[in-house]
Chains A and B, each alone.
Chain A
């Protein structure tokens, strides 16, 4: 079975500082995708960043970057120059391919507060 673990239920960071959210996962698959989704108070689920497991290079999207350690099954999200708009719940997600269709698994979320 696939599991996704986010061990930090809540975090806070000062505006303009850097924060790292942790995520670990458990799988026997060799090829899969990992995602970070952001859920602001509006409740909308927004894709932040995506990483393909067969790519060694860590994905980056502007102020957001990941540290993907495949052997350790770790996928942390780094937010640089934190902004008030980054305040949200962040979900780590794992996707594997199945004959019946791709299957997503989500972590329990980390609530991030950016302090002015």
Chain B
């Protein structure tokens, strides 16, 4: 089954404690992204990756890091989480082609930073 898998689905952590949210896709997609969803703001892109070892900032990259060492994996790293990073996070992937494409999303990670 084609899917994007995020882990964990729920996470409560304390300010300053480094954490990683994993994302893996099994569709051989070149393009992967991280979004955060906040009430009234919709989905905002944090980082994206065009392929292995190629990443770039989205609209709200401050406080986040990513890596793309393998095509299927795109972890999101919060080295020193703060309460304003409490949010719902989504990983998404899609192929490089433009025709008939769509974004495939993971199940979401609800992060609370206290």
Contact = CB atoms under 8 A, between A and B. Distances in A.
Nearest to A109: B42
A33 B33 CA distance: 18
A25 to B, nearest CB: 13
Nearest to A99: B50
B90 A108 contact: no
Given A33-B101, A35-B102, A108-B41, A43 B31 contact: no
The bracket for how many chain A residues form the interface is 20 to 34
Contacts of B108: 43-45
A49 to B, nearest CB: 10
A62 interface: no
Given A44-B108, A45-B90, A106-B42, A101 B102 contact: no
A101 B30 contact: yes
Contacts of B50: 100-101
Contact of A9 (B40, B98, B101, B103): B40
B74 interface: no
A58 interface: no
A46 to B, nearest CB: 8
Nearest to B94: A102
Nearest to B51: A101
A11 interface: no
B30 to A, nearest CB: 7
B42 A44 contact: no
Given A45-B105, A104-B45, A97 B98 contact: yes
B3 to A, nearest CB: 11
A42 B105 CA distance: 13
Nearest to B96: A101
A41 B102 CA distance: 21
Interface of B: 30-31, 33, 35, 40-45, 48, 50, 56, 88, 90, 92, 94, 96, 98, 100-103, 105, 107-108, 110
20 contacts: A4-B42, A9-B40, A35-B103, A44-B108, A45-B105, A47-B102, A47-B103, A50-B100, A91-B43, A97-B98, A101-B30, A101-B96, A102-B94, A102-B96, A102-B101, A103-B48, A104-B33, A106-B42, A107-B42, A109-B42
